[in-house]
Amino acid sequence: LKGLHNSPRVTRDRMIFQSAGVVTAEDVSCLVIPDGCVGLPTLAAMEQGIPVIAVRENRNRMRNRLSDFPVRSGNLITVDSYLEAAGVLAALRAGVSLESVRRPLKRTVVRTETAETAVPVLQDDPARPG
């Protein structure tokens, strides 16, 4: 692949981490990869709880199944396109729950209280003049 020699390298050498301009896992909020491409950066992200977004539209010859790897719940997000991946990134940055924008929505349960069991938020204090 053209330009691949310029890509970041995964290392465990602690001395390199002290250099200026070094990107560490703490600087990465999410990893976007083609679906089926699992490499050291993907495994490192999954190990450290960094969300991984797998994009289906990027067809490739790799046939790794991310579901075969131990991934924390909610940290593997599969999308159809890079446009959808950009939306997921925006939602994650804004703190929006992905379940709240995915369709179909999960069943919503609404609980109401009867007047007898409800506790008023503000009560009048008879000792205070009104």
Contact assessment for residue 79 and residue 88, using Cβ atoms and an 8 Å cutoff: yes
Query: What was the pLDDT predicted at 87?
Result: 94
Q: Sign (positive/negative) of CA torsion 23, 45, 28, 61?
A: positive
How many helical (H) and strand (E) elements, i.e. helices and strands, does the chain have? 2, 3
- Give whole-number Cα distances, 57 to 46, 71, 76, in Å: 21, 22, 16
The structural domains of the chain, with segments of one domain joined by +, span 28-96
Sheet with 31-34, side-by-side order of all strands: 31-34, 52-55, 76-79
CA distance 65 to 57: 15
Query: What was the pLDDT predicted at 82?
Result: 93
Q: Buried b vs exposed e over 81-116: b needs ≥16 C-beta within 10 Å?
A: eeebbeebbebbeeeeeeeeeeeeeeeeeeeeeeee
Query: What was the pLDDT predicted at 91?
Result: 93
List per-block mean pLDDT (blocks of 10 residues) for the chain, which spans 130 residues: 67 78 81 86 86 86 72 81 94 90 79 63 51
